[in-house]
Structure 1
Amino acid sequence: MDGGAVGGSVLSRRAALLLAAAGLVQLSPPAVRTVPATVVAPSASAGATRPSARSAVEALLADRARAQLRLDRSALLAGVTPASRPAEQAALARLAQLPLAELSYRITEFAEPVGGTLTLTAELGWRIADFDDHPAVLTRRIGCELVDGAWLLSSDRPVGGAALWDLGEIRAVRGTHSIVLGQADPAALAAAAAAADRAVPLVTELWGGDWPGRLLLEHPATGEQFAQLLGVSADGYAGIAAVTTAAAGAPVHSPADRVLINPQAYAGLSELGRRVVTVHEAAHVATRADTRPWTPLWLSEGVADYTGYRGTGRTPRQIAPELAKAAAAKGFTAVLPADGDFAAGSAGIGLAYELAWSACDLIARRYGEQRLVALYRAAGATPPAGSREEWLDGLLRAGPGPGLADFTREWGEDVHQRFAH
């Protein structure tokens, strides 16, 4: 599902309609991690004999990032208030389960001290070794207190999406092309890694090898934890088995993609359903460099679904039961779904996905799979200069061949022939 933005991240697929390795062991205290931290450089305070509050806190956060990355408990606890130390020590133990290559803070909003307290907002960047080319970014609200003349951290809480280590003990399972991190039991993590390993070559077969060919999945234990990772209400995502996120502001060719699994919805899928969902999400990762804010969601979700169902042997009616039902109704006309039709919780989200799949499936069958791939890449490479309809008409004429009106007519006829009888 690529149905909207949550906390600055791009999202991916519903899956309720598809229903038809051990974890790393935590030792206490954690071993020291001998990798360098990315630090936040303090701002210079020209002519000052004593650091400003901001520069002191920037230095504090740089030291904190270094201590967290290196699993240096003494250094970490030296920078927090006494009341915060138990919680900080527990969080550091959870961090030990992540193969971190980078962790950093960057202040984005700063409120000057009021008495002996201050608050600020910061971006927290974290990068997993061997999987992330660029850090994923979370927003944190941080509180500090002045203790014996020094600023110490008193709180570090999520604003929007939570970090994995906010939610509890983390387990990790590595696959051949994947790593799965989260609070789910080891068997569930291993199963997700196996599904991801099978998905990667299936996606590469269609989209080529110009993507990292690896997947990072986050697999919490509950639907509530899943919602916390996204920073959304759990109710709106109850039927969505997985989403794919990319870090806001990441370079085009090196986003920090995460496939987030909604445990209850994912567990309720058949084996085929889990395959389709995982391949769908992997397709979003593989096409991320070609996906732009202007890419129509019917195209991005349609190609992901086409990739997911490719080679499964499912019939059109098995893939698109809602579309089959709608097409049989008198007066039905196939219309390309609007972006809003893919919003989580939308009443018509299932039909929107099936319409998108059928449109992309028609292009692949009638004009060839590589024309579909080329159309997707052309859409990402060429932003609309005028209306979206004119832009899409030009893309279709330059790619598959028919303009938007002719394509829509051909597609409507195809839907009627396949589903209305």
Structure 2
Amino acid sequence: MLPAEGHRTALLAQDAPSAGVRARVEDLLADRARALLRADRAALLAGVAPAARPAQEQAAARVAAVPFSAVEYRISAVTEPGPDGRLVVTAGLAHRLRGADEHPAVLSRRLTFDRTPDGWLLSADEPDGSAALWDLGEVKVAWGKRSLVLGLDSAEELAGLAAVADRAVPAVSELWGEDWPGRLLVLTPATESQFARMLDVTAGSYQGIAAVTVAAGGEPAATPADRIMVNPEAFRGLSDLGRQVVVTHEATHVATRAATRSWTPLWLSEGVADYTGYRGAGRTARQIAPELARDIAAGRVPTALPTDADFAAGSPGIAQAYEQAWLACEMIARGFGPQRLVALYRAVGSMGDPARLESVLRAELGLDLPGFTKAWVAELVRQLRR
């Protein structure tokens, strides 16, 4: 259990500076954690070097509204002071957000301390990899009945997103049951480049992708802290239905986390998420799968289910991969019932060996993989050929 306030943490680096310096750094970070938890700006700035105070005042304003319920810096390494007299510390910022996190999520931070007449004082607290939302701008908060939205957009935009998230929760629970938290945490920066910084990827890597679900590292490792991260530029371009489908899709990933394993094929995990998102939307197959419909009309009929690589951001044909996956899961739900699709998904998650997929398909659907693929290709042609 993460304590409600930061506490002194043992330094791990064997070549760290003296015990007195280590203790001072631990104390400063414990004080900083308490200040973040309490949104106490004066306390947050008390351990800051004078030259860094203007920048840290801005940082304090950016993070002030974040509803932390627990904060702790976990130091992993400390360098010897360099010629400039500065000390560099690498630490994990373990934190929980009120009403959202059951377990702490951890962000890697790079902290710099200056030697001053008053001793060691903080001069920088920066991301070491993925940026936090509050590194990028002043965070605003919208509370939904079933969601918490943190973002850099207007209050109106965030409230609208919270309403979309609130509708997604019961839509997911109706199919997948109540055995998940039933509450969503949504993070939305203001630009696509900020979205890339939060994922620690190059700008443009996720161009056109409206949202992703990130399992933030923390503890216990088996229960990551899920965050739905919205790519604002792509999301703004969607219709109201499109926005609802995207958030319900991502909410499905949150709800199915416990049943999803490394061996779960992406055509199944992405397919069930899209199936859940479009369920009850009243859209035809051609409306849901326009790129695939064009391919089939042109005689380009798939002969195999999409591979995991087909779903990678930037992959050619990624739109068709999602559409193919949706239709595979829609075919199962229509032919065998939605609960058989759920049972198949959970059976795949518990099989323990990718080689057992064939036997799971036989047990749940009465089809081997070639038979399932043949039926799926026929369904593509039946529903999408003009």
- TM above 0.5, one fold? yes
Letter in 1 for 2:337: G
Q: CA deviation at 1:249?
A: 4.5
How many residue pairs end up in the alignment?
379
* Residue 37 of structure 1: aligned partner: 5
Question: What SS does structure 1 have at the residue aligned with 2:59?
Answer: helix
Gaps of at least 5 residues in structure 1 are 1-34
Report Cα offsets for 1:206-241 as digits up to 9, x if no partner.
000011111111122222222222222231222111
Shift in alpha-carbon separation, 1:262–1:44, aligned structure 2, 3 A: closer
Q: Partners in 2 of 1:65 and 1:51 — Cα distance?
A: 21
Q: Partners in 2 of 1:414 and 1:128 — Cα distance?
A: 45
Q: Partners in 1 of 2:350 and 2:120 — Cα distance?
A: 48
Aligned counterpart for 2:349 among listed residues 380, 403, 420: 380
Percent sequence identity over aligned pairs: 55
* Residue 155 of structure 2: aligned partner: 186
Shift in alpha-carbon separation, 1:38–1:334, aligned structure 2, 3 A: farther
Q: Partners in 2 of 1:313 and 1:252 — Cα distance?
A: 39
Q: CA deviation at 1:113?
A: 2.6
Say whether the 8 Å CA contact 1:133–1:255 is kept in structure 2: no
Report Cα offsets for 1:349-398 as digits up to 9, x if no partner.
101101111111111111221111112112222321xxx3x321122122
Q: CA deviation at 1:44?
A: 10
Normalised TM-score (structure 2): 0.92
* Residue 378 of structure 2: aligned partner: 413
Say whether the 8 Å CA contact 1:328–1:420 is kept in structure 2: yes
Pick 1 or 2: higher relative contact order, CA cutoff 8 A, min separation 6.
Answer: 1
Letter in 2 for 1:409: K
Letter in 2 for 1:224: S
Q: CA deviation at 1:298?
A: 1.2
Q: CA deviation at 1:192?
A: 0.5
Gaps of at least 5 residues in structure 2 are none
Matches within 5 A, 1:18-167: 36-42=4-10, 51-115=19-83, 116-148=85-117, 150-167=119-136
Letter in 2 for 1:310: R
Q: CA deviation at 1:101?
A: 0.1
Alignment of 1:177 onto 2:146: yes
* Residue 363 of structure 2: aligned partner: 398
Structure 1 runs of 4+ off > 6 angstroms?
none
Q: CA deviation at 1:184?
A: 0.4
Say whether the 8 Å CA contact 1:334–1:411 is kept in structure 2: no
Question: What SS does structure 1 have at the residue aligned with 2:19?
Answer: coil
* Residue 345 of structure 1: aligned partner: 314
Question: What SS does structure 1 have at the residue aligned with 2:333?
Answer: helix
Question: What SS does structure 2 have at the residue aligned with 1:105?
Answer: strand
Question: What SS does structure 2 have at the residue aligned with 1:383?
Answer: coil
Letter in 2 for 1:204: S
Report Cα offsets for 1:109-132 as digits up to 9, x if no partner.
332333522223211122111111
Letter in 2 for 1:139: S
Q: Partners in 2 of 1:56 and 1:383 — Cα distance?
A: 48
Normalised TM-score (structure 1): 0.85
Q: CA deviation at 1:252?
A: 6.4
Shift in alpha-carbon separation, 1:294–1:62, aligned structure 2, 3 A: farther
Question: What SS does structure 2 have at the residue aligned with 1:399?
Answer: helix
Q: CA deviation at 1:60?
A: 2.3
Shift in alpha-carbon separation, 1:36–1:334, aligned structure 2, 3 A: same
Question: What SS does structure 1 have at the residue aligned with 2:94?
Answer: strand
* Residue 265 of structure 1: aligned partner: 234
* Residue 200 of structure 1: aligned partner: 169
